[in-house]
A = this chain, B = another copy of it.
Amino acid sequence: MQLWYAKCMGSRDFRQYCGLARALELVGERWGLLVIRELLARPCRYTDLRESLPGIPTNVLSARLKELEEAGIAERLLAPAPQRGVVYALTEAGRGLEPAVLALARWGSTQLGAQQPGELVPASTLALTLRAVFNPDAAHGLNASWEIRTAGIALYATVSDGQLATGVGSAPGEPDLVIAVQADEVPTFREILQAAGEGKAELTGRQDLLATFLRCFAPPRA
């Protein structure tokens, strides 16, 4: 291309030998980390991402996916057996972003304030919040799995030997306890905990695991 083009592309770089600067060059652009949030919760098709990220222009989504793929953070896969088409998933390097995403999400949660009208709660946010508030001490040596159903979405949390896995959709395998919360819009995590704590959730399965759930996922004292 032309000289000015090369020069300006270079200006997307910060020209600093710094881990933070490199991270921001790779995933710091608009919508970048939100795409990664979705992919942390499950492999996604293009259309899943568009639905989970209302407001993202399709060309921007397209561009971000291309960049993430080139950077080795995400990969484009042919969807397995029953479906067909394309799915995007994180690579090992991409999954390495989880601690950073959780740390940002924890800080941002302190800045959230009250839910504004028109602000939706993405299902992936709930899956991530489960990881963000997880208390490993309370789950030491535990084996259990839960599925939360509300407002037409499902998410799961599985603890194997104290190790947590969460995601959007149904758990791989039967959940030990299904927690169903009636709602029109996706509720906040706080609202889910409250409903479960107050007995307003419909429980299916090992009901004794409700208390365990509340212990493992109690958010930090406010």
Q: Is the CB of A100 within 8 A of B103?
A: yes
Q: Is the CB of A16 within 8 A of B121?
A: yes
Copies per complex? 2
A15 at the interface (CB under 8 A from B): yes
- Which residues from chain B contact A37 at a C-beta distance below 8 Å? 18, 20
Q: Is the CB of A106 within 8 A of B19?
A: yes
- Which residues from chain B contact A101 at a C-beta distance below 8 Å? 20
- Which residues from chain B contact A108 at a C-beta distance below 8 Å? 18-24, 26
Q: Is the CB of B55 within 8 A of A120?
A: no
User: Range of interface residues on chain A?
Assistant: 35 or more
A4 at the interface (CB under 8 A from B): no
Known contacts A28-B30, A33-B28; A129 and B16 CB within 8 A of each other? no
A195 at the interface (CB under 8 A from B): no
A5 at the interface (CB under 8 A from B): no
CB-nearest residue of chain B to A100? B103
- Which residues from chain B contact A118 at a C-beta distance below 8 Å? 15
A83 at the interface (CB under 8 A from B): no
Contact partner, A93, options B16, B18, B110, Cβ 8 Å: B110
Known contacts A93-B111, A99-B107, A100-B104; A119 and B55 CB within 8 A of each other? no
What separation, in Å, do the CA atoms of A71 and B109 have in the docked complex? 14
Q: Is the CB of A20 within 8 A of B128?
A: yes
List residues of chain A with CB under 8 Å of any chain B CB: 11-12, 14-24, 26, 28, 30, 33-34, 37, 54-55, 71, 93, 96-97, 99-112, 115-116, 118-122, 125, 128-129, 132, 188
